Amino acid sequence: MAKNYYETLGIDKSATKDEVKKAFRTLAHKYHPDKKGGDEAKFKEVNEAYTILMDDKKRAEYDAYGRVFSDGQGPGPGAGGGGFDGFDFSQFTQGGQGFGGDMNFGDIFSEFFGGGRGEKVKRGRDISIDVELSFEESIFGINKKILLNKTSQCQTCSGSGGAPGTEFLTCKTCNGKGKIREMRNTILGSFASERTCGTCNGHGKVPKEKCKTCAGAGVVRRENEISVKIPAGIEDGEMIRLTGAGEAITGGSPGDLYIKVHVKRHATFRKDGRNLVTDLKVKLSDALLGAEHNLQTLDGNVTLKIPAHVTFGEVLRIKGKGVPDDRNKRGDIMVRIIIELPKSLSRDARKKIEELKREGI
């Protein structure tokens, strides 16, 4: 059955890239295998859907044909290609029909017709964590230190698996090539394939004496301090991805670290794009005659001049005190005026207001 990437992300076919990104962040956080109740299979499906729908060319091909050809695969026989590249040979899996061995016709046809994908590179697990920021930290950005207990490269042997100063010998299993070439006999003839040597993990050499810290694995579980650069103006709920900061693995590349950001609310300000918005309560007399107010901003105290005859809901601007962008230019502070009316009036105040009323004010 053809995959429905829109259904996987729970979005409409007309969804914008921002909507695709938002759906992916929510589902990736929900299904990440490192979380309690996570689902690795669904996480992979969500990641695949996101990859396709965020690429304009691949999305256009998927919308048109129900599959993608931009990854180097040509269209199948039914799409005008006339060849075998786009055909799914996995349906020809042997499954014990009397041909002997674990023979997969998908692999055979891929190799025979040049559609082989090569060996999949081993990769460590991804990690997802949550980080809480103050409002100020989210506005100006910060370098955050995070402690993680994860499988990492062994510091004693620097990932080589050998004891310090030991001699490295040519791997006898692969004769120093790092790969093992195998021949498979099929009904179509003999086919050669290569796989990474499991003895030396593709290095071609093995240590004469193994590292005692990691027992020759090159990786060990330990506490790591990771520095994360939080960009200025980050939004609540955004995800930061650190490539290669996930779990390390013997003979492969490390996974990634996904950091979900949670921003605390500020007592006074709220964020609106590159601007900061706040309300300022002023007395009726200040609104009529004008005044100056001290406003506590994220940069310290600022004197704000209230013009005479300011109206309720009018917005005053303080330039250059808002959210910085990637060029270090800043937005503004938008101050909305709230005029406070007195709950009670003295006899003299009432008399003066009645005089103003008679003057048509």
Domain ranges of the chain: 5-112, 127-166+209-263, 270-358
Q: Is the pLDDT of residue 233 over 80?
A: yes
The CATH class of 5-112 is mainly alpha
Handedness of CA 237, 243, 248, 251 (dihedral sign): positive
Q: Is the pLDDT of residue 69 over 50?
A: yes
Same CATH fold, 127-166+209-263 and 5-112?
A: no
The CATH class of 270-358 is mainly beta
Q: Is the pLDDT of residue 89 over 80?
A: no
Lowest mean pLDDT among 66-80, 270-284, 298-312: 66-80
What pLDDT, on the 0 to 100 scale, is given for residue 146?
92
Summary mean pLDDT of the chain: 82
Within 8 A by CB and 6+ apart from 245, the residues are: 127, 226, 254, 256, 257
CATH no. of 127-166+209-263: 2.60.260.20
The tokens describing 138, both together, are 């989210």
Kind of pairing between the strands at 205-207 and 219-230: unpaired
DSSP codes joined into one string, 307-343:
-TTPPTT-EEEETT-S-B-TTS-B--EEEEEEEEPPS
- 193: phi > 0 → left, psi -120 to 50 → alpha, else beta; which? beta
The tokens describing 286, both together, are 């200040």
Return the percentage of the chain with pLDDT > 90, whole number: 49
Which residue reads 């697990």 in tokens? 125
Report, as an integer, the average pLDDT of 181-209: 81
